[in-house]
Structure 1
Amino acid sequence: MSDPNHAQFPAQQQPAPGWYPDGTGTVRWWDGSAWTAHTQGSAPVAAAPRPAVLERPRLADHLAVDGPWTWVIALAQLLAVPSIFLIDVRGYVRSLTEGDQSGFISYFATTGIVALLGWALTALIIVAAHRDSKRLTALGVVRPFHWAFAFLGATVYLIGRHVVLRKVTRTPGWPLWANLACVLVSLVITTIWTVMFMQFMLSELATSPLYS
């Protein structure tokens, strides 16, 4: 039986009976003169060609991939640690124990200064990552780890940078390990400072006439 919805072979070129694509994406039985109702699933579809992957060429082993900007990123964490000692903890505690509102003002002012220093440090890391990425490109590194990941932190950028560089050259990744050490030192110092702050505040509150 013929079906007007399906493509027909020209009368002068009609093939022998068999399974053929009918023009609708289905393999259908051709009885020699017309299509029948018998189908055999979908016609094979050619796979789309995969886009070519741009490979990263190998660089010379032990190439000096770590420059001054790399070390700025790695060690910048240490610059943030001393800033916490600028916070006027005594002024805050004095406000709680003596009712001196100027202590609150001093505390929040110094906290704001520390926050500004932290943002400035983040900006420095981002600029350094951009310069470092440009340097790697100049050295021949194809598609270096994008500098914008520095917005997520120095450690994130250095990890991604190290992963990419390990694919193209031999590098021990000293900036990454130095940064991780800085993070650990910062965590220890911050924890000690927090404990001392809490102990000082509790001792002052215990002897304050306002809370006795």
Structure 2
Amino acid sequence: MSAPAGWYSDAAGAPRWWDGYGWAEEYRVPPDPLPPQVAPGTSSRTVWVWLIVLLPLLSLFPLFLYLDQMLRGMVDLVALFPTSGSAPDPQRLLAAELSLIFNPWLLVMTVIGWGSAALYVWFAFLDARELERRGFAAPFPWLWSLLSPLVYVIGRHAVIRRRGGKGAAPLFVTIAIQVAVFVATMVWTVVLMFQVTAAILPGK
């Protein structure tokens, strides 16, 4: 009597579908094994990941100063063009344009940006090493921090969840900071448009 239809091990030991009369060509794909799990309650929060999360705040102060000076410079530049249609004074126009290009806070932001990029990589390396010490096998590669600290934090969180670890706060704080910077940039853009419009149409 033939065995009922179902999954059985064939002669090679592979799980294969038996239709009740013979072996079908369909094989069962074994599920992916779970990655090595950490001890329950193992925290993934390290001082290094918090430094990666909070380091962008270092550039916010010079960023706002740069945007403020840029806004003033653009308003001054627009104000040089008289409403009568005559050409503005060349020397004053050149000085206004140079003040926009050679903004000292732009240099400060550039230096902070390069320094922060180096620190992101260093902190990510130390973070990955600390996670390995806590039992997280094969943590998210720290070299991804070269692309973006946000990419590293997101990938890190995904790997930690698969390992059974806890600690989603760094991811949430990172997203909150990114959203806040985006909103602040949009607000500044709107303010810039109103200021320039007011400079062009002072009587309206």
Scaled by the length of structure 1, the TM-score of the pair is: 0.64
Aligned to 1:164: 159
* Residues 1:184 and 2:184 are matched in the alignment: no
Aligned to 1:34: none
Please tell me whether the aligned partners of residues 129 and 147 of structure 1 are also in contact (alpha carbons under 8 angstroms): yes
Which shows bigger deviation, 101-110 or 145-154? Answer: 101-110
- The structure with higher relative contact order (CA 8 Å, sep 6+) is 2
C-alpha distance in structure 1 between counterparts of 2:109 and 2:95, whole Å: 18
Gaps of 5+ in 1: 1-52
SS of the aligned residue for 2:41 comes to: coil
C-alpha distance in structure 1 between counterparts of 2:176 and 2:124, whole Å: 19
Letter in 1 for 2:98: I
C-alpha distance in structure 2 between counterparts of 1:207 and 1:81, whole Å: 32
Please tell me whether the aligned partners of residues 53 and 170 of structure 2 are also in contact (alpha carbons under 8 angstroms): yes
C-alpha distance in structure 1 between counterparts of 2:194 and 2:108, whole Å: 24
Q: How do 1:1-212 and structure 2 match up within 5 A?
A: 56-87=35-66, 88-89=69-70, 90-98=72-80, 99-110=92-103, 111-207=106-202
Please tell me whether the aligned partners of residues 74 and 179 of structure 1 are also in contact (alpha carbons under 8 angstroms): yes
Instruction: Report how many residues are paired.
Output: 156
Change (3 A) 1:108 1:205: same
Q: Deviations over 1:111-150 (max 9, x none)?
A: 3432332333233222211211121122222211011111
Please tell me whether the aligned partners of residues 36 and 163 of structure 2 are also in contact (alpha carbons under 8 angstroms): yes
Gaps of 5+ in 2: 1-31, 81-91
Letter in 1 for 2:135: G
Please tell me whether the aligned partners of residues 77 and 96 of structure 2 are also in contact (alpha carbons under 8 angstroms): yes
Name the Cα RMSD after superposition. 2.4
Letter in 2 for 1:165: I
C-alpha distance in structure 2 between counterparts of 1:168 and 1:141, whole Å: 7
Identity %: 28
C-alpha distance in structure 2 between counterparts of 1:117 and 1:107, whole Å: 20
